[in-house]
Structure 1
Amino acid sequence: MTAIAVLGSTNMDLVAYVPKAPRLGETVTGREFRTVPGGKGANQAVAAARLGGEVVMIGAVGADDFGVRLRSALTAAGVETAALRTVEGASGTAHITVDDEGANSIVVIPGANGTVTGLEAGDASRIGAADCLLLQLELPLEAVLAGAAAARAHGVRTVLTPAPARPLPRELLELIDLLVPNEHEAAALTGSTDPLAAAEALLHEVPEVVVTLGAAGALYAARGREPVTVPAPRVRAVDTTGAGDTFVGALAVALGEGRPMPQALAWAARAASVSVQRPGAQDSMPTRAEVDPGGVL
């Protein structure tokens, strides 16, 4: 079983479903509202656990009702939460609008996530015991750097999802083995709207890059190798929230099992394609039986 450590955010997603997203200054009437456990870190942890990974979550929730629900959701998915601290104040929240085409826009309020500024006792050992460390950018950068440094010290593969997109310091990039931006994040990091050109630019900073392309699949590039594009199954998207996190969680499991990158990418794309056919982030994430051959696609 693949051992995966996740150092990242936990948020309660406050999701409004609308026919069409409002423009600036516009008010629209929605058709449904839901509160759903989320956060990029927790989402990746749940995705990996449901797909067969042995996952530990490192982060923080608030001392509020959302914090109780967030921890319970992780535990129910099979994620180890001993390193998920409870701190005074509010849990993180994400305010999400989803339109009838399944597209979304998100505002994140860090809450308890903002208190995670480094590793605590036992965290480095948890990272060292993993096959892979998953990182995102919804925690303070100091914590991301500390986690990446601990992984490098223990020879653990580091996978960074650079979201929300922001300039990445060289000291962090030097600790990253695999960078997984979506096409918009890749463009923000490089200034190039062409995914292949962006990936090639990022290879000057990290040894491997996967650019996720939504319904078009994913592009893989590595130093000294020809780029590979893996298509995604054609499905009707209901809600794309959490699809990228599903992809990363699945990719971590597949790589930990020793699958070659093209096969790992194809399996991760299948997992993401299952998730977009259902509403919510963690609620939509598939089990292994749904993704393996003979599953729901």
Structure 2
Amino acid sequence: MHSQELLQTKDFSQGSVVIFGSMNADYTVTTQRLPAGGETVVGGPLTILPGGKSSNQAAAVARLGAKATMLGKLGTDANGDFLEQELANAGVDTSAIARWDGPSGATVITVDAKGENTIVISAGANEHADVAYVDSVAGQLTAASVLGLCLESPMEAVAHAARLAHQAGATVVLNDSPFQGELPAELVENVDLLLVNEHEMWQLIRQEGDETPVLSGEGWWERLDWAKIAERLKAVGFERVVVTMGSAGSMVLEEGQAQQVEAIAVRAVDTTGCGDAFMGAVLAGLATGSSLYEAASVASYVSAYAATGRGAQASYGTLDQVRAYFQA
């Protein structure tokens, strides 16, 4: 089925996804260009928007019409109230979110005229979503059909959540971001699907003596030996992988085969959170029985739509909005 047809016919309403991880207030300023080291540039008005990789993914899942349950910790500050309310407005179940007596997570983002960005994270309450908290929400984890994880929370807690969900039969999806090259064996063993970009993929599989491949330019992905890449990823513990490649789309690797999903061209306004929109759509797709290739195909449209608006969660569309945009 063509990816446009998949987008128009997909129904996410029966899907149920649990996401454990980070919630951040995004402090965003736009500039004509990003500053170089030690340089000051003039920016536009400062905006405060809901973010955090896991929170973004949960909002994307819910806006597509699937059930999304958010697990993690917020602070007792005003940002905590703001972030929880924004998730609830997106349709996310926030009942299992806990509060830590201190500031919520925050992110400082600079976006240039081309939509490129730089991001700095302050963990805040996110670093207190520990193993004890994971044990307190074990019921939600063991009831999950799909669990989404990233690495903006303590590694021990992420690995523990993966184990509880995987052993209960859930499909565990890990976005290795912020990138960690050395992942705990317990986490790797309990991950069913890995999502990384092309640079993270290369860092995971490179070996001593390898010549660094060119990961840019016209048709760069066609020059890679994807069968060999799949073998190396399997050797480090990942048999099902989606490699996102920016304007080159994504590559779906499973059962030793590689299938490219083409990118959807749009005029980008702000790419902040587009990767999280992609992951959210993959999570929702898997929760509703899509193949990995089908889920990634629909996710290409969802993430492209997100690039047409500013902010992360603020730019995510409902399924009807995404459909209408690309029909037009």
Q: TM-score, normalised by structure 2?
A: 0.86
State the one-letter code of the partner of 1:127: L
| 1:182 match | 197
| 1:159 match | 173
* Greater mean deviation of Cα atoms: 13-22 or 202-211: 202-211
What's the C-alpha RMSD, in Å, of the aligned pairs?
A: 1.7
* Cα distance change, pair 212–199 in 1 and its aligned pair in 2 (3 A): farther
State the one-letter code of the partner of 2:18: A
The answer to whether 1:33 aligns with 2:66 is no
| Selected match of 1:16 from 29, 33, 36 | 29
Structure 1: how far apart are the matches of 2:327 and 2:169? 36
Structure 1: how far apart are the matches of 2:292 and 2:278? 13
**Contact between 1:200 and 1:221, CA under 8 Å: does it hold in 2?**
no
| Selected match of 1:243 from 265, 269, 274 | 274
The answer to whether 1:212 aligns with 2:244 is yes
Q: Report the identity percentage.
A: 38
**Contact between 1:160 and 1:179, CA under 8 Å: does it hold in 2?**
yes
**Contact between 2:134 and 2:160, CA under 8 Å: does it hold in 1?**
no
| 1:5 match | 18
**Contact between 2:146 and 2:286, CA under 8 Å: does it hold in 1?**
no
| 1:111 match | 124
Structure 2: how far apart are the matches of 1:87 and 1:162? 25
| Selected match of 1:148 from 142, 149, 162 | 162
Written as runs of structure 1 = structure 2, the 5 A alignment for 1:36-75 is 36-75=49-88
| 2:188 match | 173
Partner-residue secondary structure (3-state), 1:181: strand
Q: Which runs of 5+ in 2 are unaligned?
A: 1-13, 207-211, 216-220
Structure 1: how far apart are the matches of 2:59 and 2:30? 23
Structure 2: how far apart are the matches of 1:71 and 1:153? 29
Residue 251 of structure 1: CA displacement? 0.8
| 1:90 match | 103
Residue 291 of structure 1: CA displacement? 2.9
Partner-residue secondary structure (3-state), 1:13: strand
Residue 169 of structure 1: CA displacement? 2.1
Partner-residue secondary structure (3-state), 1:32: coil
- CA deviation map 1:98-149 (0-9, x unaligned): 1111111111000000111114455111112221000000000011011101
Larger Rg over CA atoms: 2
| 1:270 match | 301
| 2:314 match | 283
**Contact between 2:231 and 2:256, CA under 8 Å: does it hold in 1?**
no
* Cα distance change, pair 199–20 in 1 and its aligned pair in 2 (3 A): farther
Residue 257 of structure 1: CA displacement? 1.4
Q: TM-score, normalised by structure 1?
A: 0.95
Partner-residue secondary structure (3-state), 2:50: strand
Residue 188 of structure 1: CA displacement? 3.0
| Structure in which a larger fraction of residues adopt helix | 2
- CA deviation map 1:274-295 (0-9, x unaligned): 0001100000011011234775
